[in-house]
Amino acid sequence: MTEVVIGIDIGGTFTKFGIVDKNGNCLAENFTSTDKFIDFEVYLEHLHTEIEELLNTITTEIKIKGIGIGAPNGNYYHGTIEHAPNLNWKGIVPFIENFKPYFPGIPMVLTNDANAAAIGEMIYGGAKDIKDFIVITLGTGLGSGIVVNGELVYGHDGFAGELGHINVKHRGRKCGCGKSGCLETYVSATGIKRTVFKLLAERVDKTELRDISYNDLTAKMVSEAAKKGDKIALEAFEITGRILGVKLADAVACTSPKAIFVFGGLAKAGDLIFNPTQKYMEENLFPIYRGKVKLLPSQLQETNAAVLGASALAWKELEK
Amino acid sequence: MTEVVIGIDIGGTFTKFGIVDKNGNCLAENFTSTDKFIDFEVYLEHLHTEIEELLNTITTEIKIKGIGIGAPNGNYYHGTIEHAPNLNWKGIVPFIENFKPYFPGIPMVLTNDANAAAIGEMIYGGAKDIKDFIVITLGTGLGSGIVVNGELVYGHDGFAGELGHINVKHRGRKCGCGKSGCLETYVSATGIKRTVFKLLAERVDKTELRDISYNDLTAKMVSEAAKKGDKIALEAFEITGRILGVKLADAVACTSPKAIFVFGGLAKAGDLIFNPTQKYMEENLFPIYRGKVKLLPSQLQETNAAVLGASALAWKELEK
């Protein structure tokens, strides 16, 4: 009999879920819609049905030990999703309280998606032997999970690790959170797009990016243009890396991690983003930290990394 | 028989030491010079003699359980003082290795002075029931100690919690650490002095501060002028509080503390520093944290707070 956990990653558009053993092997996985469900109870019922169907596809004998959930604005202490701007369900959503009856007797734990990614990195990824590290997830926004002495930092309220909302610039770019000048408005797939559009306004360089609308432009297009030597795209990466590097230097001054793992779409740009980030981080580090902090791409498999993170959360919780 | 520890606080000018029981009662204390000793070995021998003399003044029966030391750039893991700019002893000084033979069999532990202050706040001060908090020490520079889930954050190298050196401004004020634009060049007793001098250059307001040289000006004078309504002094506090407030908001996004304690000379300015710091911190917080974080003056007794901090470190270590 194989012991497994169910990992669930709730995104704004899709919910992914998988059945994962202790070694990080995903026995089965699937996904369903998140945003089509206006009613939270209907969503939970549907999600339960989908998971049961997935479990039925597994032919070996399994024992479900726990369920781990990664969700935007997930609160570890209360099992709630609180004021998530990208979800239909507003206010404080009692996720675990309402989902637990579908899986009687099975331990269930929830945290935010970037925290789950950090635990994934610790259990299955590049941080297996590292006790102090930070994971930065670069997607539509910027998420972070901070690990100190082998434990995820949740803070007094369960919401620690929101580096996407540290302050880059007074009266800077408007952020979805209501503030201005937050890090994720500069450093994320959306952030680099905004930077490209600022540069298109300021410069006169010829670039194929001038033919693409804001809504059509993706971080991948910026990355492809940069690889072909496009000046605007190259400068957008330089600016993005500079801002991220300085802020990572500040984060190092808080918890002094041994490594920082960068995860998500923008991280796939490789040297384009890693080189300037590393350079400006080193320059802006308090001298005592210089040359000590590794900046690395996440070593989780991209295809099911979010599900692996949520599963790792469940395994980690079972150790306690 | 009373169980006690010896608390030692090594400052740039003086070394303070005391004999402290588990309730934070200081049975005896004294101080000696730090900066008069060019030779580290001679300093240790002298410090040992002074401590033995202090112990001889105690008439009740005591048992020394441990020794705690707070020192600038103190490394908890190695018991070393590393590259401390304000001490005569350069490079990496093996403090515990060389001091231990003077007190055979007695556990000895060392950390940086702000970390010791944080442990003091936890054991004897306002953080007795708080598991997640930050202590900011405002003296000549800005030090910090970060506590997560009841444990001090040391980081992978023992040097976590250097908020004095996070980056405020690109190409900003020169810092003693070699960088430019570090937080402590704006927010500290020295920082507010530099701000006053910048304002004296930029403004034409009449102020008694124009009669005082840079070397003569103290943060206390700025505070006294502000209390009398001096415009330049008031604005200097507003600017200092704004910069500190924004950076505390960023620190909250890392570890989500329940409280931030401010300690040291500049904190004595009371509302002058606390009001703008609180205001700008709240404004710049990620909304999910707003209204949750208490900004408080340290509740350690000022007279022997540093010695209490070092003692608390020793007691905390003995619990392990």
Q: Report the residue from B73, B160, B178 with minimal CB separation from A254.
A: B160
For A136, the token pair is 């930065």
Residues of chain B with pLDDT below 70 are: none
Work out the burial of residue A61: count CB atoms within 10 Å of its CB; fewer than 13 is exposed, 13-18 middle, 19 or more buried: exposed
Cα distance from N-terminal residue to C-terminal residue, chain A: 23
In sequence order, what are the beta bridge partners of A69?
Answer: A8, A110
> Positive or negative, the Cα torsion across A83, A122, A296, A7?
negative
ipTM confidence score: 0.92
Q: Do A254 and B249 touch (CB under 8 A)?
A: no
3-state secondary structure of B76: coil
pLDDT of residue A133: 98
pLDDT of residue A134: 98
pLDDT of residue A13: 87
Residue A103 neighbours by CB distance under 10 Å = 16
Task: Kindly report the nearest CA distance between residue B19 and chain A, in angstroms.
Answer: 31
Interchain CB contact of A184 with B (< 8 Å): no
> Alpha-carbon distance A287 to B83, whole Å?
10
pLDDT band at A298 (very low <50, low <70, confident <90, very high): very high
How many cross-chain Cβ pairs, A to B, lie less than 8 Å apart?
Answer: 143
Amino acid at B3: E
pLDDT of residue A34: 94
Q: Report the residue from B82, B153, B165 with minimal CB separation from A286.
A: B165
All domains of chain A in start order, with CATH: 2-123+303-319 (3.30.420.40), 133-298 (3.30.420.40)
pTM: 0.93
pLDDT of residue A309: 94
Angle between helices A219-227 and A231-255 in degrees, nearest 10: 110
Q: Name the average pLDDT for chain A.
A: 95
In eight-state DSSP terms, residue A68 is E
Q: Do B286 and A165 touch (CB under 8 A)?
A: yes
pLDDT of residue B106: 97
pLDDT of residue A282: 98
Closest-approach residue (CA) in chain A for B249? A166
Task: Kindly report the nearest CA distance between residue B3 and chain A, in angstroms.
Answer: 31
> Positive or negative, the Cα torsion across A198, A201, A206, A211?
positive
pLDDT band at A320 (very low <50, low <70, confident <90, very high): confident
> Alpha-carbon distance B25 to B18, whole Å?
10
Interchain CB contact of A291 with B (< 8 Å): no
Q: Give tens-digit pLDDT for A83-128.
A: 887 789 989 999 999 999 999 999 999 999 999 999 999 999 999 9
Q: Do A162 and B284 touch (CB under 8 A)?
A: no
Burial call B80-91: b when 16+ CB within 10 Å, e when fewer: bbbbbeebebee
In sequence order, what are the beta bridge partners of B17?
Answer: B8, B30
Q: Do B167 and A131 touch (CB under 8 A)?
A: no
pLDDT of residue A146: 98
For A286, the token pair is 């308090």
Q: Give tens-digit pLDDT for A230-271.
A: 999 999 999 999 999 999 999 999 999 999 999 988 999 999
pLDDT of residue A86: 78
pLDDT of residue B83: 87
Interchain CB contact of A157 with B (< 8 Å): yes
pLDDT band at A300 (very low <50, low <70, confident <90, very high): confident
Mean pLDDT of A203-222: 96
Task: Kindly report the nearest CA distance between residue A255 and chain B, in angstroms.
Answer: 5
